[in-house]
Amino acid sequence: MKKQAPAPEADPKPRAPLRTVQVLYELAQAGQGLRLAQLAARLDMPKTSLFRLLRALEQDGYVSSAAGVHEVGPQAIRLGLALSRGRIFPGGARPTMQWLAEQSSETVILGTFDDSRSQIVYVDVIEPSNPLRFSIKPGLTKPLYSSAIGQCLLAWLPTDQRASYLASVQLEPLASGTVRSVAALKRRLKEIRASALALSEDGMFDGVYSIAVPLFDAAGRVPAGLSISAPSKRGSAQQDRFAALLQKAGAELSQLLGYGGHYPPA
């Protein structure tokens, strides 16, 4: 009588869910998308199995494919933004943002560092019903130096990290008001730290005015910023009112992050 072979031990980590996460991670890291062979090499995975997985993810919108190049799809971007919001604000920042949007009747934006910490990523946006408004998509990334929120993040970077950024940054003119020199950027960051308020007009897009405040966490760091953005003429005319609204919203969101000091810090 033949001895029955022992049953193989169950894999403690289900492969399919793990492979899904690995695929999305590699595509997100690549930025510009990957071909099937490139992705298979990175994952050390058979191309036939990977192709079937990509097709399933594409059907649900987690992967977008065109001309043989695969990249993260809209559903994966929404998932990433939801995770970012949850990481920064476990209690949720939306109620405060909605209040600010109602009070200002303008676009309200929550932004934080991307993984490289050289760009800002817009993790949540609330737009007003006004037909003439500034419109921007969550998930967009832009250089830190070009936006009011990005400059808030830069202003409170640890000294060594800020110095490293300023020593290596290439200031590309994205719009007519983009800061043009490192010396001018340094002066602006000093002013932002003194006032806890950042202003940008035509910095990232011509015709757009933004005003932003830093959001402090329990350790006094600034992991995120909050802004009101509007068409230039309408926004600059309400600068004082927007600043007061942002100070109130900034204090509330900083409390959610565990900040217990005076807002803004003296």
Domain 79-256 has CATH 3.30.450.40: yes
Distance CA 227, CA 120 (A): 13
The CA-CA-CA angle for residues 225, 108, 92, to 5°, reads: 65
Q: Tell me what pLDDT residue 10 has.
A: 46
Is the Cα dihedral 259, 262, 263, 266 positive or negative?
negative
Q: 113 and 105 in contact (C-beta within 8 Å)?
A: no
Q: Give the E-state strand segments of 127-216 in sequence order.
A: 141-143, 198-201, 208-215
CA distances from 242 to 65, 250, 257, 264 (A): 42, 12, 22, 16
pLDDT tens digits for 220-260? Answer: 999 999 999 999 989 999 999 999 999 999 999 998 888 88
The residues of the chain that CATH labels 3.30.450.40 are 79-256
pLDDT tens digits for 12-44? Answer: 444 667 888 888 878 877 767 889 898 898 888
The residues of the chain that CATH labels 1.10.10.10 are 15-72
> Taking the model in full, what pTM does it have?
0.69
Residue 90 has pLDDT above 60, yes or no: no
Provide CATH code, domain 15-72.
1.10.10.10
pLDDT tens digits for 165-200? Answer: 999 999 999 999 899 999 999 999 999 999 999 999
The b-or-e profile of 216-235 (16+ CB within 10 A means b, else e) is: beeeebbbbbbbbbbbbeeb
Strand ordering across the sheet containing 69-72: 34-35, 69-72, 63-66
